[in-house]
């Protein structure tokens, strides 16, 4: 169930606009399967063709960071994922991430890769998309982020076609991504079959992790799950 706080004071400088906070299982990336509190920030400057969270583009409510921390604690999980939308589009997201780390949570950040990640607390596992041609947002990739990656981070490619796969394979090699961090290849949910992508990865012996989105298998991508 989604939980929203009363709108914070307009005078507050320590607040973020949120679409929802909820407890579910992490559906992808390194911590897949763990009970996780999701903090979904509102707004995104990108419009990827395969976006499954367009409901977070607009609306939302203002939350004080202290109230966010209190709501996260209420759910009683060790893992917290800050997501969107594009969470880094709100500058105060940096402070929220630090506060979550200081509180002892295992924190991950899902980001589009279009915004500089340099200021994100290094205790956070930064899950950085690299936008493929099929996303429609290839030109938004902030390539300088690659130099910021550590083994604690993860890179994700959403593959929409064979052309996307070949392009991602070339980026993987050009930037030696597998030597920097975990690399995830995920099939675009409605555009290619999971088996097709899996077969390509195996045939090419790519040093990447194939992933399916667990939440879509379990709950058919129901918001707030």
Whole-number pLDDT of residue 190: 83
> Between the CA of residue 174 and those of 13, 126, 221, 222, what are the distances in Å?
42, 21, 34, 37
8 A C-beta contact, residue 152 and residue 122: yes
Mean pLDDT of 95-121: 98
Residues 6 or more apart whose CB falls under 8 angstroms from that of 102 comprise none
Strand partners, 79: 36, 106
pLDDT tens readout for residues 3-17: 445 444 443 569 999
Q: Indicate the domain borders of the chain.
A: 15-219
pLDDT tens readout for residues 113-161: 999 999 999 999 999 999 999 999 999 999 999 999 999 999 999 999 9
CATH class label, 15-219: alpha beta
> Between the CA of residue 7 and those of 37, 63, 125, 132, 209, what are the distances in Å?
20, 6, 29, 37, 41
* Alpha carbon 187 to its chain's center: 15
Whole-number pLDDT of residue 223: 54
């Amino acid at each position: 169930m989604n939980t929203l706080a009363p709108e914070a004071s307009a005078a507050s400088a320590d607040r973020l606009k949120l679409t929802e906070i909820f407890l579910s299982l992490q559906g992808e990336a390194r911590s897949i399967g763990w009970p996780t509190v999701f903090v979904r920030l509102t707004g995104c400057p990108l419009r990827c063709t395969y976006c499954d969270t367009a409901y977070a583009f607009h609306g939302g409510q203002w939350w004080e960071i202290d109230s966010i921390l209190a709501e996260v604690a209420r759910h009683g999980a060790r893992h917290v994922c800050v997501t969107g939308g594009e969470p880094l589009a709100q500058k105060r997201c940096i402070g929220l991430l630090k506060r979550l780390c200081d509180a002892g949570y295992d924190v991950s950040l899902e980001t589009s890769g279009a915004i500089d990640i340099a200021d994100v607390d290094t205790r956070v596992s930064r899950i950085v998309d690299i936008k493929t041609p099929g996303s429609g947002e290839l030109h938004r990739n902030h390539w300088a982020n690659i130099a910021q990656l550590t083994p604690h981070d993860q890179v994700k490619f959403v593959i929409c076609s064979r052309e996307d796969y070949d392009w991602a394979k070339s980026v993987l090699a050009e930037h030696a991504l597998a030597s920097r961090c975990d690399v995830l290849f995920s099939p675009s949910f409605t555009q290619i079959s999971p088996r097709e992508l899996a077969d390509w990865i195996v045939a090419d012996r790519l040093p990447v992790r194939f992933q399916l989105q667990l939440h879509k298998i379990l709950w058919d991508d129901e918001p707030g799950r």
